[in-house]
Amino acid sequence: MATSESTVLVGAGDIASCDSLGDEATANLLDGIPGTVFTAGDNAYDRGTAAEFADCYDPSWGRHRDRTLPVAGNHDYMTADAAGYFGYFGAAAGDPSQGWYATDLGAWRIYALNSNCAAIGGCEAGSPQERWLREDLTANPRACALAIWHHPLFSSGDHGSDERTAALWQTLDAAGAEIVVNGHDHSYERFGPQDGDGVPDPAGIVELVVGTGGGSHYDFNAPLANSLARDNTAFGVVRFELYPEGWSLDFVPIAGASFTDSASGACH
C-alpha cells in the first residue's frame, strides 16, 4: 500500500485487441489500483488506427487515460506517423515528431522513450533522443530514475534482444538509473541488475519485460544470463511502489491466473 512518502506506478505493454478479452481483464486490475498508469507500447492492435484506439483500447484501458503515461510500440507506428496513437493520447504522448518525454513522480524522474528508432532520427549515441535524455538526466540529478520503452535490450522471448536501444541504456546506466520497463515480447521477464552488456552489476539497471497487457502470449527461447523470473501464462500488470530512496514491485495477475513475482531495491 502506498504511503505518504511513496507513489504508485502500474501498467504493462502489448494491450488491446478487439479480438481478445485480455485487455479488459487487465483493465479490471487497474480499476482497483490507484496511482499513475503507464503503457509500454503496442497499445491498440493490429495497426494502431484511430478506430482501433476508439473501439479496442478506449473501452478497457481508456478508462484510465487521464492518469496514463503512454509509450508507443511498433504496432502503433503501423499507422503512418503513429497518428492514431498521438491523436488518442494528445499532449500526454509528447511531440508527435519525437514521442519521448519525462515527468516527475514523487521523488522519481520517469522517462517515456521511443524505441521506434527509424521514425525519430535514430536511437544511437548522439541521436536527438539520446542527446535530450543525457541533457535531462544532467539537469535532473535525482537519486531515482525509471525509463519505459517498447523494444527490450534484453529478452529471452520470441522477439529476443534488440540492440537499437543500447545507447539509451548506457546513458541511463551512466547516470545511475534504477529500472527499465519494456514490452514487445508478450510475456513477463525480470532481469537482475546488469550493465549494458548483460553483465551482473549491483549498481546496474533492473530490466522488466511486461508484454502482458492482453495480447496473446509468446514462447520463450533459452533463458538469457541474469534472467531471474519468467512467465508466459498470465496476463497482468506490474505495480511499482516508488520511495524517495528505493522501490518495490509486484506482478499482479488477472483473476484465475496464479503467477506472481516481486522484487525490491535501493536507488543508486
Position 242 pLDDT exceeds 80: yes
Query: Predicted confidence band at 4 (pLDDT cuts at 50, 70, 90)?
Result: low
Percent of the chain with pLDDT over 70: 99
Question: Mean pLDDT across the stretch 27-32?
Answer: 99
Burial 47-64 (b: 16+ CB within 10 A, else e): ebbeebbeebbeebbbbb
Distance (Å, rounded) from C-alpha 19 to C-alpha 82?
A: 21
Query: Predicted confidence band at 5 (pLDDT cuts at 50, 70, 90)?
Result: confident
Question: Which residues are bridge partners to 188 per DSSP?
Answer: 210, 231
The domain total for the chain is 1
CATH code of the domain containing 150: 3.60.21.10
Q: Is residue 85 part of a domain?
A: yes
Phi, psi at residue 188, to the nearest 5°?
Answer: -115, 135
Query: Predicted confidence band at 77 (pLDDT cuts at 50, 70, 90)?
Result: very high
Q: Is residue 195 part of a domain?
A: yes
Put the strands of the sheet holding 227-231 in their side by side order: 101-105, 108-112, 144-148, 179-182, 206-210, 188-191, 227-231
Q: What is the pLDDT of residue 2?
A: 59
218 CB neighbour count, 10 Å cutoff: 17
Q: Is residue 38 part of a domain?
A: yes
Q: What is the pLDDT of residue 142?
A: 77
Q: What is the pLDDT of residue 150?
A: 99
Q: Is residue 2 part of a domain?
A: no
Across the chain, what does the average pLDDT equal?
Answer: 97
Distances (CA, A) of 37 to 32, 68, 93: 12, 4, 13
Q: What is the pLDDT of residue 99?
A: 98
| Domain hosting residue 166, numbered range | 7-266
Position 40 pLDDT exceeds 80: yes
Q: Which helix (H) or strand (E) holds 179?
A: strand 179-182
Cα angle 147, 67, 93; round to 5: 55
Q: Is residue 223 part of a domain?
A: yes
Structure letter (DSSP) for residue 55: I
Query: Predicted confidence band at 98 (pLDDT cuts at 50, 70, 90)?
Result: very high
Question: Mean pLDDT across the stretch 143-169?
Answer: 97
Q: What is the pLDDT of residue 3?
A: 61
Q: Is residue 1 part of a domain?
A: no
Query: Predicted confidence band at 143 (pLDDT cuts at 50, 70, 90)?
Result: confident
Distances (CA, A) of 266 to 56, 141, 205: 38, 16, 11
Q: Is the dihedral of CA 199, 200, 203, 204 positive or negative?
A: positive
Distance (Å, rounded) from C-alpha 200 to C-alpha 196?
A: 10
Q: Is residue 166 part of a domain?
A: yes
Q: Which three cell numbers stand for residue 262?
A: 516481486
The DSSP line for 134-165 is HHHHHH---SEEEEE-SS-SS--BSS---GGG
Q: What is the pLDDT of residue 29?
A: 99
Tell me: the pLDDT tens digits for 47-58? 999 999 999 999
Q: What is the pLDDT of residue 101?
A: 99
Q: Is residue 161 part of a domain?
A: yes
Farthest CA pair distance, the chain = 47
